[in-house]
């Protein structure tokens, strides 16, 4: 095995190790170290193509280890044959790995002479390609480097200003500085700049971007623990309804939240007496209950939605899921991929989209911004309901991921949304992780996964807007674009001198 092959193995292993930075491990310094080694290999690579291959190998290690829960969804619960599920996962990981590969290829192609400019462009390119990965074909921003820092790293002090992608930029810039510090004989300027960035994060954590509004509200987050292979069976629906009715009736909280499509029925066929019974209990608590149901329209298009309905003292309201999961909730490019419906045994796999302009619900004296399952992965969409909303609610069914690391990673993403917005995030999930997350991204309370239980606690509403709520990803995209322009100008000038 030659040196190049050994390096390929190393970068793949580095990608594997990087997963330790994410939940459930939370070893946030790890991605900085692994990226520093990767950037070092790319810095010394002989050709841009060689550097790109290193980036691709790193990505394959990262995603093959970090999104294995997709295999669980496809094979264990989607009934996709094992060979096809493995091939599908490898193809997805290869596609996702193209983004770090292209960012590294462009960096190597520029051949920047200034170390600090090289470090800045490396960070800008990585972040821009992460953002592109989170946008193309409805987006898949899972395992963006910024998430690895939530909630314990001092770098999350930047979350209310720059969001998850901004922290990704800082993580990669830190990694580049760490490499340069070793590469250039531990020159003090690189170490000083690295320390300054991280201590700035500590300082930003002391800033109060938002303020409490009113008194805390009592909440109950319900976890029915309905097995995925039982959820849609007709002979089990009555049992599911009984489980959630019992959990609701045992709660005296003002806000009670059930998971995504907690009752696996269309809203128009759920017995009205059942809903009236739950609504009456919510009113007796001087509050409201959120119920997850499928909703279908009466028009000729036979559209149906993944919807949350409110019952109780407030006027009845609803929220329809907007950002759908490709191949799970809708089939993209049906003429090409329509066959997937026949392979995957996923009920209701062709939902319609709710509007992007939906407003927070007025519930239990709070203005509650609802997001369903996968939607909380997109911070730029969550802020559409802010600053009007005083708290966030995410409802999900992570039973699709079994006992993989997927549900824990999803929790970490919710923690980042709380940090960006300065709002409590309440998570009600079918099998876990059900949790109350405060405005600092810290999990205040949780219950054991795969148990039937209710999480009772207090949630504080907040008012005000963080800089990220006001501007979204535009500032960090603009910063990255400016850095890249500087890199292009420098590379162009250097090329002219050699002519």
Cα gap 371→382, rounded to integer Å: 7
Cα gap 286→268, rounded to integer Å: 26
pLDDT band at residue 330 using 50, 70 and 90 as cut-offs: low
Q: Per-residue pLDDT for 335 more than 90?
A: no
CB 429 within 8 A of CB 396: yes
Residue 251 tokens, joined: 């709660």
So what's the pLDDT on residue 121? Answer: 98
Q: Per-residue pLDDT for 438 more than 60?
A: yes
CB 139 within 8 A of CB 99: no
Enter the pTM of the model. 0.94
- Of 368, 382, 376, 397, nearest in space to 309 by CA: 368
More confident residue, 495 or 65: 65
Separation of CA 245 from chain center: 30
So what's the pLDDT on residue 334? Answer: 54
Q: What is the mean pLDDT of the chain?
A: 92
> What is the b/e burial string over 207-237, where b = at least 16 CB atoms within 10 angstroms of the residue's CB?
eebbeeeeeebbbbbbbbbbebeebbeeeeb
pLDDT band at residue 328 using 50, 70 and 90 as cut-offs: low
- Of 421, 328, 318, 418, nearest in space to 373 by CA: 328
- Of 175, 132, 141, nearest in space to 155 by CA: 175
Longest dimension (CA), the chain: 82
More confident residue, 235 or 208: 208
So what's the pLDDT on residue 12? Answer: 97
Q: Where in the chain is the domain with CATH 3.60.110.10?
A: 212-465
More confident residue, 398 or 78: 398
pLDDT digits (tens, 9 = 90+) for 378-415: 999 999 999 999 999 999 998 878 889 999 999 999 99
Q: Per-residue pLDDT for 321 more than 70?
A: yes
So what's the pLDDT on residue 304? Answer: 87
- In this prediction, residues 413-435 reach a mean pLDDT of 97
Q: Which CATH architecture has domain 212-465?
A: 4-Layer Sandwich (3.60)
Q: Per-residue pLDDT for 374 more than 70?
A: yes
Q: Per-residue pLDDT for 346 more than 60?
A: no
**Which DSSP state fits 453?**
E
So what's the pLDDT on residue 352? Answer: 83
- The residues near 60 (Cβ < 8 Å, ≥ 6 apart) are 12, 15, 93, 94, 97
pLDDT band at residue 3 using 50, 70 and 90 as cut-offs: confident
More confident residue, 335 or 168: 168
- In this prediction, residues 270-286 reach a mean pLDDT of 96
pLDDT digits (tens, 9 = 90+) for 113-139: 999 999 999 999 999 999 999 999 889
So what's the pLDDT on residue 146? Answer: 98
Q: Per-residue pLDDT for 26 more than 90?
A: yes
Cα gap 463→421, rounded to integer Å: 10
Residue 310 tokens, joined: 């409110």
Residues 13, 22, 70, 94, Cα dihedral to 10°? -40
Measured between alpha carbons, how far is residue 88 from residues 153, 340, 362 in Å? 34, 11, 42
pLDDT band at residue 349 using 50, 70 and 90 as cut-offs: low
So what's the pLDDT on residue 498? Answer: 75
So what's the pLDDT on residue 469? Answer: 98
So what's the pLDDT on residue 432? Answer: 83
More confident residue, 157 or 404: 157
Cα gap 204→162, rounded to integer Å: 12
Per mean pLDDT, which range of 208-222, 333-347, 459-473 is the poorest? 333-347
Which range of 68-72, 265-269, 321-325, 426-430 scores highest in mean pLDDT? It is 426-430
Alpha-helical runs (H) found in 19-67: 29-43, 48-66
Per mean pLDDT, which range of 243-247, 296-300, 352-356, 441-445 is the poorest? 296-300
- The residues near 304 (Cβ < 8 Å, ≥ 6 apart) are 266, 294, 295, 296, 297, 348, 351, 352
Measured between alpha carbons, how far is residue 5 from residues 14, 90, 93, 99, 179 in Å? 14, 20, 20, 21, 22
Could you give the residue numbers annotated as active site?
A: 260, 321, 373
Task: Write down the residue that tokens 């051949």 correspond to.
Answer: 111
- In this prediction, residues 24-39 reach a mean pLDDT of 98
So what's the pLDDT on residue 106? Answer: 97
- In this prediction, residues 310-326 reach a mean pLDDT of 92
Helix axis angle for 474-498 and 82-110, nearest 10°, is 50
pLDDT band at residue 286 using 50, 70 and 90 as cut-offs: very high
CB 93 within 8 A of CB 48: no
- In this prediction, residues 279-304 reach a mean pLDDT of 89
Return the SS3 of 371: strand
Residue 240 tokens, joined: 């599911």
Task: Write down the residue that tokens 């298009």 correspond to.
Answer: 301
Return the SS3 of 359: coil
Cα gap 38→54, rounded to integer Å: 7
So what's the pLDDT on residue 340? Answer: 54
Phi, then psi, of 330 in degrees rounded to 5: -155, 155
Q: Per-residue pLDDT for 331 more than 70?
A: no
So what's the pLDDT on residue 332? Answer: 63
- In this prediction, residues 352-379 reach a mean pLDDT of 94
Return the SS3 of 27: coil
- In this prediction, residues 451-478 reach a mean pLDDT of 98
- In this prediction, residues 339-367 reach a mean pLDDT of 77
So what's the pLDDT on residue 301? Answer: 61
pLDDT band at residue 333 using 50, 70 and 90 as cut-offs: low
So what's the pLDDT on residue 184? Answer: 82
CB 429 within 8 A of CB 453: no
Q: Per-residue pLDDT for 153 more than 90?
A: yes
- In this prediction, residues 159-185 reach a mean pLDDT of 96
Cα gap 304→325, rounded to integer Å: 15
pLDDT band at residue 16 using 50, 70 and 90 as cut-offs: very high
Q: What is the Cα gyration radius of the chain?
A: 24
Separation of CA 143 from chain center: 8
- In this prediction, residues 141-154 reach a mean pLDDT of 97
pLDDT band at residue 326 using 50, 70 and 90 as cut-offs: confident
So what's the pLDDT on residue 255? Answer: 98
Measured between alpha carbons, how far is residue 58 from residues 5, 174, 240, 380 in Å? 13, 18, 44, 27
Cα gap 390→425, rounded to integer Å: 10
- In this prediction, residues 429-436 reach a mean pLDDT of 94
Residue 26 tokens, joined: 């939370």
């Amino acid at each position: 095995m030659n040196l190049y092959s050994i390096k390929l193995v190393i970068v793949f292993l580095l990608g594997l190790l990087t997963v330790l930075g994410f939940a459930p491990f939370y070893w946030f310094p790890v991605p900085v170290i692994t990226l520093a080694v990767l950037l070092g290999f790319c810095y010394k690579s002989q050709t841009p193509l060689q550097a790109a291959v290193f980036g691709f190998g790193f990505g394959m290690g990262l995603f093959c280890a970090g999104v294995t829960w997709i295999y669980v969804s496809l094979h264990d619960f989607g009934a996709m044959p094992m060979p096809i599920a493995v091939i599908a996962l490898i193809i997805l990981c290869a596609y996702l790995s193209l983004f770090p590969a292209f960012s590294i290829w462009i960096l190597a192609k520029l051949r920047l002479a200034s170390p600090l400019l090289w470090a800045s462009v490396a960070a800008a390119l990585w972040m821009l390609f992460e953002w592109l990965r989170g946008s193309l074909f409805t987006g898949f921003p899972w395992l963006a480097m910024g998430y690895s820092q939530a909630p314990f790293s001092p770098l999350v002090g930047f979350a209310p200003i720059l969001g998850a992608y901004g922290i990704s930029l800082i993580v990669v810039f830190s990694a580049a500085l760490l490499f340069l510090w070793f590469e250039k004989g531990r020159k003090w300027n690189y170490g000083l700049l690295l320390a300054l960035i991280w201590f700035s994060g500590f300082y930003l954590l002391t800033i109060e971007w938002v303020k409490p509004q009113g008194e805390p509200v009592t909440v109950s987050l319900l976890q029915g623990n309905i097995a995925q292979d039982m959820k849609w069976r007709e002979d089990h629906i009555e049992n599911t309804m009984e489980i959630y009715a019992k959990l609701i009736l045992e709660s005296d909280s003002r806000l009670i939240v059930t998971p995504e499509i907690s009752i696996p029925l269309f809203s128009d066929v759920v017995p009205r007496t059942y809903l009236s019974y739950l609504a009456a209990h919510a009113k007796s608590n001087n509050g409201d209950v959120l119920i997850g149901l499928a909703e279908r329209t009466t028009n000729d298009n036979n559209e149906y939605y993944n919807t949350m309905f409110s019952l109780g003292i407030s006027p009845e309201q609803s929220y329809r899921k907007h950002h759908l999961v490709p191949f799970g909730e809708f089939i993209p490019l049906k003429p090409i991929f329509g066959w997937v419906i026949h392979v995957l045994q996923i009920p209701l796999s062709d939902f319609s989209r709710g509007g992007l302009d939906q407003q927070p619900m007025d519930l239990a004296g709070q203005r509650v911004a609802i997001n369903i399952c996968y939607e909380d992965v997109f911070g730029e969409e969550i802020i559409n309901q802010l600053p009007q909303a005083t708290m966030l609610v995410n409802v999900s069914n992570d039973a699709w991921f079994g006992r993989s690391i997927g549900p824990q990673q999803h929790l970490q993403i919710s923690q980042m949304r709380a940090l960006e917005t300065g709002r409590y995030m309440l998570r009600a999930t079918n099998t876990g992780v059900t949790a109350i997350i405060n405005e600092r991204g810290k999990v205040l309370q949780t219950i054991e996964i795969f148990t039937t239980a209710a999480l009772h606690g207090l949630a504080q509403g907040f008012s005000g807007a963080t800089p990220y709520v006001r501007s979204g990803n535009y500032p960090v995209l603009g910063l990255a674009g400016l850095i890249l322009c500087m890199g292009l100008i420098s590379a162009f000038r250097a090329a002219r001198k050699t002519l």
